[in-house]
Structure 1
């Protein structure tokens, strides 16, 4: 392995904890079945981001979703991150077949679902209309 590859590997590994901390700070929750079930039972409005760490589309979506999660206008909305590679029970139960899926649940029912959208304005418009 050359020096440039090694440096990239080390830098990438160092950024993962920072990225996870940024997610938590922005108000994202990592999917946990019990907590999610309670949110549904409570009738919470939930924006679900089905992502994969290796997905460039998901990464582009994350920029807009992070901004929205930190805005006062969405303070009553729960933002949940579902891992496409590990949260298989969620994927089956909710008929999700692709990463980069965004689902909005309101009052216990799916209000919107879209896949692969990366334009900030379109993401905002679709989520705002659903919540």
Structure 2
């Protein structure tokens, strides 16, 4: 999944690229750990973050979010979507502590998009 500098990208565009690449299983926080709706739950030790996409928007608060691309120890690759800042709602469910415990792959590539008046571009 390659995004070239200067390419206009939105959260929904990244999610669509993940869907096309069959990496669209959403990891959601549950009392048992991260689940994808298939009855299996994962602990932080069974997961690693392989890429992050961060969206920062002054004009649109919904763009202040991050997508974690996550690989499970059984080969499943999916994502977890998190809002941050004023719109983060994970205070009581343990999400923040859980995500911090997941190992980040050494080659993790963080792609940052800023909402600018003229377009939405990656920050180098």
Smaller-chain TM-score range? 0.3 to 0.5
Which has the greater radius of gyration?
A: 1
Which has a greater percent of strand? 2
**Greater fraction helix:** 1
| TM-score for both structures, normalised by structure 1 | 0.35
